[in-house]
Amino acid sequence: MPEDINPQHHPNYLLLVVGVALLLAPLVFIVISPDQFLQAQLFLRIMAALGGGLIGTFIPGMLNVELPFAKAGGALAVFLVIYGTNPPQLIEQTFSSLEQDAKSWVAAAKSARESGVVEAGRPLPIDLIVKRTAFENSWVNAGISKQQELESKLAYDALNLTSRVYRVQEIQSESKPSAKKWVDTAINYFESTNDTKYLVESLLDKAAIYLEISQIEHTEPEEWREAAKLGDKILARASSLSIPEQQADVLRIWSRFFYNLSRPRSGNLTKDWDNNYLLLALEKMELAYDLAPNNQKNATQLARTVQKVAANPPQDSDAAWTKKMSDVQRKLIKTWDINKNNHKTPTSRIPALNIIAVITLNIVHREWELQDEARDINHAIRLSEELTNIAINSQREAISLLPHTEWQEDYDFDMYYDLARMQAVKCRIMEYSSLPNSDHECKEAIKNMKTAKIKASSIQLNSARQSMLSDPTLSMVPQPYRDELSSLLESSEI
């Protein structure tokens, strides 16, 4: 009879859905808010265990569990198994590799940079990419609480080297997306930790990226001016936050942005520069030098700025600026004598050597042209020797080091062009004073100008042609060599 038949049991699938949702909740939480995962782990363990218990009611069979703190069967047993075998130690192990990955990446990146493995246009070694990727993944997955357990210097070194290595890889990029991403990561991180020292260092790293972008080789004039303005804004913030030990670096980089902003809007560097920005650049640089006079970067940048200010009207005809350049040249050479044995890599030697050569060239030229009464044989011999022993020798060493850097493509022309200018001035002085072998120096100037032309971009070559009309050092070349030099630059043939 119907009343004798047992009623059928219909499973409640809503409980199954709820159980699955509870079991998956911790996985969803770690994706959405990984930095809060460790703080919420007890609550999430309970949720996962409850979900497992609900799912257990749908699994046929019996399960009996006896733990030190409880004994149960059925769905409650599933709950205890999940709760009891999900200790916090497992969660800790998920993130325990961040410090290890950071140390491994820093060691590998420093070694690679010192050995010259990290170069523009050269693929990174696979093991270096693997270690960088491991650090990047560990950093992103760890969350802020675990990131803050890193020692500040280790965190800065790891983030800084990540950005720097990407900068080298993106040397020809006008946006440098990966370098910017990781330097912004560093800035945001040290803002969150209120670590002012490394926040300033990270701001300087970002400013260095914009300084690189603002170089005329990479962008149109208006674009590099915009990049320079952004850099100026970053440096203003860095200056307001910096500690005394950082002030010289902030001022030096700030000076370089004003230097870039002073360039002619047309992009033609043979035209007059903006004197207001140049003088601001010099003001910042003099302050930086006063704070750290034995820092080679400060001495180098001070000399570069002074020689450019002195070459710009109205300073170009002012004898006081000739003396100022001479004073700065002596400071530069003194600092280089102190530091040169510590600068072993090409990239650390070339800037100082080049500016020693160029500022010496400009001093010699001004002394010769602006002081007619001093033009005697002894004066000619002294200036010729100064050009050879200081300017030309320094420039030749810089040229010999250039192929070992990522700068070769961008600066080959400039290096040989400046060397030709030095030899042109020496030729002029020797020829005027009837010193022997003046024609040899003129021929060397022509030879190096030919080399410069081979390595020139169309923009550089057009600039060189225009400078033949305005560059006083090239206009000093005596005939017939000046006509040959002019014809060389005007000709489209190599």
pLDDT, tens digit, for every residue of 94-109? Answer: 445 899 999 999 999 9
In contact, 350 and 407? CB cutoff 8 Å: yes
Q: Is residue 382 part of a domain?
A: yes
Residue bearing the bigger pLDDT, 232 or 308: 308
What residues contact residue 177 under an 8 Å CB cut-off, 6+ apart?
A: 170
Q: Is residue 102 part of a domain?
A: no
- Terminal C-alpha separation, the chain: 112
Question: What type of residue is 235?
Answer: L
Task: Match 């309970």 to its residue by tokens.
Answer: 46
- Look at residue 52 in the predicted model and tell me its pLDDT: 61
Q: Is residue 167 part of a domain?
A: no
Q: Is residue 171 part of a domain?
A: no
pLDDT band at 224 (very low <50, low <70, confident <90, very high): low
Q: Which of 35, 65, 94 is the last residue of a domain?
A: 94
What percentage of residues in the chain have a pLDDT greater than 90? 41
Q: What are phi and psi of 136, to 5 degrees?
A: -60, -45
In contact, 38 and 23? CB cutoff 8 Å: no
CA–CA distance, 77 with 54 (Å, rounded to integer)? 11
Q: What's the pTM value of the predicted model, to 2 decimals?
A: 0.69
CA–CA distance, 176 with 163 (Å, rounded to integer)? 10
In the predicted structure, residue 230 carries a pLDDT above the cut 90: no
- Look at residue 389 in the predicted model and tell me its pLDDT: 96
- In DSSP terms, 66 is beta-bridged to 71
In contact, 106 and 158? CB cutoff 8 Å: yes
Q: Is residue 261 part of a domain?
A: no
CA distance to 362, 367, 432, 478, per residue, from 374 (Å): 17, 8, 13, 20
What residues contact residue 227 under an 8 Å CB cut-off, 6+ apart?
A: 210, 213, 214, 219
In contact, 308 and 273? CB cutoff 8 Å: yes
**What's the mean pLDDT in 191-197?**
94
Q: Which domain holds residue 407?
A: 351-494
Q: Is residue 343 part of a domain?
A: no
pLDDT, tens digit, for every residue of 236-273? Answer: 999 999 999 999 999 999 998 888 888 887 666 677 89
Q: Which of 45, 75, 94 is the last residue of a domain?
A: 94
- Look at residue 212 in the predicted model and tell me its pLDDT: 79
Q: Which of 94, 124, 151 is the last residue of a domain?
A: 94
pLDDT band at 4 (very low <50, low <70, confident <90, very high): very low
Residue bearing the bigger pLDDT, 107 or 8: 107
Of 118-132, 300-314, 362-376, which has the strongest mean pLDDT?
Answer: 300-314
Q: Is residue 257 part of a domain?
A: no
Lowest mean pLDDT among 38-42, 133-137, 458-462: 38-42
Q: What is the mean pLDDT of the chain?
A: 81
CA distance to 2, 33, 53, 55, 217, per residue, from 27 (Å): 49, 10, 17, 17, 49
**What's the mean pLDDT in 437-463?**
79
Task: Give the gyration radius of the chain's Cα atoms.
Answer: 33
In the predicted structure, residue 68 carries a pLDDT above the cut 60: no
**Looking at the 3D structure of the chain, how many domains does it have?**
2
Q: How many CB atoms lie within 10 A of CB 483?
A: 10
pLDDT, tens digit, for every residue of 377-428? Answer: 888 999 999 999 999 999 999 999 998 887 777 788 889 989 998 998 998 8
**What's the mean pLDDT in 433-452?**
87
**What's the mean pLDDT in 322-345?**
95
In the predicted structure, residue 165 carries a pLDDT above the cut 50: yes
CA–CA distance, 463 with 488 (Å, rounded to integer)? 14
Q: Is residue 133 part of a domain?
A: no
